[in-house]
Amino acid sequence: MPSFVSLQNVVYPSHELSLTMILLEEWSLIYVEGLDSKTYLQNQLTIDMNFLLETHHALCAHCNINGKVWSTLRLFHYEKGYGYIQRKSVSEIQMREMHKYSIFSKIKFHELHDICLIGIVGSDARAFLSNFFIDIPSENCPVMHEENTTILWYSDPSERFLLVLSFADFLIFKKKINKKIFFNNSKQWLLLDIEAGFPIIDKTCSKRFTPQAINLDKLKAISFKKGCYYGQETIARIFFKKTNKYYLCYLISKGNIFPEIGSFIETQIDGQWSKIGVLLSIVHVKFEEIYIQVVLYKSININNLFRICGFRNIFFIKK
């Protein structure tokens, strides 16, 4: 019989995780289908669609005409078209903007509400999945499709897997589990993304940053060689003129505070607290630590101490 142990919203850093199943309820899956899907996405997204293999997934961004990021996407081939995973809070506005220019294209967008996104993490994750699936994705083949399930492989911050399946298939999958496994919510996956350095763009911070400001260039999520796409002129200008002034990182502190996403980050300059960044995401870890993902000015010394505007807790950069 399956033995599920609820972690009661306790989130752990990647190096402390036992075998854990995570329900990604804060993310959504968008399905794109139609004859013009590839061409249309090529004109909208920051990556070159010609290099997206059937067996791979890619991090990329959808930007507005000014080169500001609507959302960050995890894109892959799915069924007869493409699927992409993004933060649920931004899906409505992102889909509206993505669909805006499609009137003359043979393409359709669907947010799939009957699909379940499940994370499998921990030291025994690969062995655990091998009990249910013939082939498990890996570095050479990060996307596998088996029957009605798609599995995505992630290398960072440690090996983990994202399952895309229907709710009905998820219930069947759960019934087949015959070993102890911990069960947690989206905050656990959010922490893993923060540790991996994947930018978290929720509705509050949508269209606020260029891709370079959130490290998408370093994450190989931008093509500077393909043709035009929305925001390309601004993004290319920043790249070639090397004018990006920001970078993405995460900070750690102790305590239990609940600041709003989009709050300012401060550091002491000449004895005064000055605004030098923006809060993108926050996770409380083991009720003791606070991990926050932030965008900071590049000129700031990484050895500085930081705080969130309105709070006294002192943060430092995780190195």
Q: What is the pLDDT of residues 63-103, one digit of tens each?
A: 999 999 999 999 999 999 999 999 999 999 999 999 888 88
Are 85 and 29 a contacting pair, CB within 8 Å?
yes
Query: How far is the C-alpha of 44 from the C-alpha of 35, rounded, in Å?
Result: 16
Q: What is the pLDDT of residue 319?
A: 66
Residue that the structure tokens 């921990």 belong to: 122
Half-sphere exposure of 226 (CA within 13 A, CB side): 21
Q: What is the pLDDT of residue 227?
A: 85
Using DSSP, how many helices (H) and how many strands (E) does the chain show? 6, 18
Tell me: is residue 27 an annotated ligand-binding position.
yes
Burial grade of 99 (CB within 10 A; 0-12, 13-18, 19 or more): middle
- Give every CB contact of residue 135 below 8 A, 6+ residues apart in sequence: 141, 144, 146
Q: What is the pLDDT of residue 3?
A: 57
Q: What is the pLDDT of residue 250?
A: 96
User: Helix, strand, coil proportions of the chain in percent (round to 5)?
Assistant: 20, 35, 40
Q: Rg of the Cα trace of the chain? A: 20
Nearest to 311 by CA among 283, 271, 286, 279: 279
| Count of positions (residues) in the chain | 319
Angle (CA) 137 141 144, round 5°: 50
Please list the alpha-helical segments (H only) found in the chain: 37-42, 88-99, 125-129, 167-176, 186-196, 232-241
**Residue 1 in this model has a pLDDT that exceeds 50:** no
Neighbours of 13 (CB within 10 A): 19
Burial grade of 196 (CB within 10 A; 0-12, 13-18, 19 or more): middle
Neighbours of 261 (CB within 10 A): 18
Strand partners of residue 275: 266
Tell me the pTM.
Answer: 0.95
Query: How far is the C-alpha of 84 from the C-alpha of 294, rounded, in Å?
Result: 24
Q: What is the pLDDT of residue 130?
A: 95
Q: Determine what percent of the chain is predicted with pLDDT higher than 70.
A: 97
Residue 211 pLDDT class (50, 70, 90 cuts): very high
Are 247 and 313 a contacting pair, CB within 8 Å?
no
Neighbours of 179 (CB within 10 A): 12
Tell me: is residue 273 an annotated ligand-binding position.
no
Residue that the structure tokens 């932030």 belong to: 294
Structural domains of the chain, ranges and CATH numbers in brackets: 3-196 (3.30.1360.120), 245-319 (2.40.30.160)
- Give every CB contact of residue 142 below 8 A, 6+ residues apart in sequence: 55, 56, 57, 152, 153, 154
Angle (CA) 90 255 9, round 5°: 55
- pLDDT tens-place string over residues 229-266: 999 999 999 999 999 999 999 999 999 899 999 999 99
